[in-house]
Chain A
Amino acid sequence: MSQDTGLEPHESDGSAAAARRDHRPARRRFPTHLIVFLLPAVAVYTMFMVYPLLDSMRLSMFGDVDGVRAFVGLDNFVRLLTDDLLSALFWNAVVQNLLFFAVHFFVQNPIGLLLATLLASPTLRGRATYRTMIFIPTTLSVVIVGFIWQLILSPLWGIVETPLLGRSSTALVTLAMMSVWQYVGIPMILFYAVIISIPEDLIEAARVDGASGWNIFWRIKFPLLLPTVGMVSVVTYVANMNAFDLIYTVKGALAGPDFSTDIMGTLFFRTFFGFQLQRGSSTMGATVATMMFLVILAGILLYFFGWHRRVQTYEL
């Protein structure tokens, strides 16, 4: 993210150091050590991350023609977006995935902010204990979280009477809330780190000028927190847009009832591996994955141009 500053440290130490570096004999020999340092990371990363991503995009332009894999151009995308059955499922998944994210955005951020602000209050005792306890759910596996809540929300156990996970009107929001329950610790910790880094004299000066605690929060702390809100949101967006584990654990690959909890991750899985009577297809799976990539990319670009550039970052 901050890679644009790539060479700065070398420039900042002045021309003398740069000149000294240029005169080192090691510079003139073949830089074996450079290759040794860089090769393992670059090789593993390229082979298992970059190549599969690019190859998936390539595969999305292939299809089975008379049982033989052949180049079909954008046919798969056209089918995915216009075919009666497929496009209904696809848009259903996209819309529900956005809803899944919206719940995170509107619930996770305020709760995280509230908890972080309270944790940072200067006279608070037991801060470390609160922080540790509230963060525990974040360390759990999504599978565990899914089942814990499935048990607690089960009408069989009788703690909650309404089958929140069984009704198509409430299932997705309930799942999103389960996910918020798990991950709220992350915004809390990040917001907390920002709040405690705000210099005390800044707050003190405002207090001397007669600002109330409320004003100090909204006028001083909140603007300083906005860049972090944006960062947390975009990371959550990316994570939500390729979420799968929770829905699969609680609702299975069919994302029931009646696809009401289907999101792109589960659609991708079903398209790739097949389910019930529909046969799986790796090229169609790659097409769904490529569409997921585009949706994620759109979100990231929206963040960079719509938020990151407008929100002012202050140097403290």
Chain B
Amino acid sequence: MSSTVTDATTAPEGTAARPVRRGSGPTLRTRAGRIGPHVVLLAYTAVACVPILLVVMNSFKSRSAIFSSPFSMPTPESFSLAGYETVFARARFELYFFNSFTVTIVSVFLVLLFGAMAAFALAEYDFRGNALLGLYLAIGIMIPIRLGTVSILQLLVGMNLINSLFGLILVYTAMGLPLAVLVLTLFFRQVPKELKEAARVDGASEYWVFRMVIPLVRPGLAAIAVFSMLPIWNDLWFPLILAPGEHVRTVTLGAQLFLGQFVSDWNAVLAVLTLAMLPMMALYIIFSKQFMQGLTSGAIK
């Protein structure tokens, strides 16, 4: 693959510096043991990141530079924003971003709210049918919601929610709930009993108790937010089928349609790809620590 070119030059430089600094202490074997992981990890990091870098880099170059020297950074001579100009002239990406943000944020909020409420009830009260209801809600983790698309489409047509952000939000909320309920139930079970009982003795209502324990399951909420956000933002299937209209188009669908239409305009294609991936990537890199914590704590559950 293309990336081996770059990692062949960066890997030895990055790792060779360390043993020299440490002097002649470690034996050859331990030194190899120390460098080995870095070589492999750097190589794979290149495999993961070079394709993305290639796209971002070339989106700022002129058409001739894209083809003549794809691996070089944009220089003052080759710099060009032609692609971005085409994109903003031909498509309303600022609107698509607004739509994607609205759908993702509202859906994740509803998943967290409804999921936490149901999980609290399942973890807190033993009523008849508790285990059965938990199982009923958990089935959806394994069964993809897409299989019901034929009926979802009919249902939303009947509710007059085709080409509406609200329709998408309802579907995504249903999609995210099963995992949220299961994981949050486990988190709510860990909240100490004494705390809730003390509040009840003081005359707190059940709603107040719920409000009080919410901050204690924050890691669980973060994990679920992380888990449910990406599939919603990145989904193509439901926007394509339920909300293809221009005014409700999401970034993913907008990019897909634009790319299909302008496939031979390389500047525009590279610019759209860069535009569509940068917001989520920036968000991810900024919050990567919280993201990984949420992911691992959710996964271990």
Q: Which A residues form the contact surface with B (CB < 8 A)?
A: 1-4, 6-7, 9-10, 13, 17, 20-21, 24, 26, 31, 33-34, 36-38, 40-42, 44-45, 47-53, 55-56, 59, 111, 114-115, 118-119, 121, 123-124, 126, 128, 130-144, 147-149, 151-152, 156-160, 181, 185, 189-190, 192-193, 197, 238-239, 241-242, 244-245, 248-249, 265, 268, 272, 282, 285-286, 289-290, 292-293, 296, 300
Contacts and interface: CB of A to CB of B under 8 A. Distances in A.
Given A24-B200, A136-B281, A148-B273, A141 B121 contact: no
Nearest to A10: B126
A141 B45 contact: no
Nearest to B125: A34
Contacts of B2: 152, 159-160
Size class of the contact patch on chain B: 35 or more
A41 B118 contact: yes
B123 interface: yes
A33 B207 contact: yes
A272 B117 contact: no
Interface in B5-50: 34, 37-38, 40-41, 44-45, 47-49
CB-CB nearest 6 A-B residue pairs: A52-B148, A6-B131, A48-B174, A141-B234, A41-B118, A52-B151
Contact of B149 (A1, A50, A272): A272
A137 B138 CA distance: 28
Given A41-B118, A147-B273, A245 B55 contact: no
A270 to B, nearest CB: 13
A49 B174 contact: yes
B283 to A, nearest CB: 8
B140 interface: yes
Given A38-B117, A49-B140, A52-B148, 9 more contacts: A40-B118, A44-B173, A50-B136, A56-B147, A56-B150, A124-B37, A134-B45, A244-B236, A245-B236
A193 B177 contact: no
B212 interface: no
Contacts of B110: 44
10 contacts: A3-B138, A44-B173, A49-B140, A53-B145, A157-B70, A192-B296, A241-B144, A244-B146, A248-B236, A289-B146
Contacts of B289: 128
B-side binding surface: helix, strand, loop or mixed? helix
Contacts of A21: 126
B105 interface: no
A59 B210 CA distance: 41
Contacts of A134: 41, 44-45, 48
Interface of B: 2, 34, 37-38, 40-41, 44-45, 47-49, 51-52, 54-55, 66-67, 70, 110, 113-115, 117-118, 120-123, 125-127, 130-131, 133-155, 170-171, 173-175, 177-178, 181-182, 186, 189, 193, 197, 200, 205-207, 210, 230, 233-237, 251-252, 255-256, 259, 266, 269-270, 273, 276-277, 280-281, 284-285, 288-289, 292, 295-296, 299-300
Given A132-B288, A189-B299, A289-B149, A44 B114 contact: yes
Nearest to A245: B236
A135 B147 CA distance: 28
A10 B130 CA distance: 12
Contacts of B174: 44-45, 47-49
Nearest to A299: B142
Contacts of B52: 136-137, 140, 148
Contacts of A137: 48, 51-52
A-side binding surface: helix, strand, loop or mixed? helix
Contacts, number: 281
A38 B171 CA distance: 18
Given A44-B114, A245-B236, A49 B182 contact: no
B63 to A, nearest CB: 12
Contact of A118 (B40, B143, B285): B40
A41 B153 CA distance: 21
Nearest to B253: A143
B130 A6 contact: yes
B117 A130 contact: no
Nearest to A137: B48
Nearest to A9: B189
B48 A41 contact: no
B39 to A, nearest CB: 10
Contacts of A272: 149-150
Contact of B123 (A9, A34, A139, A268): A9
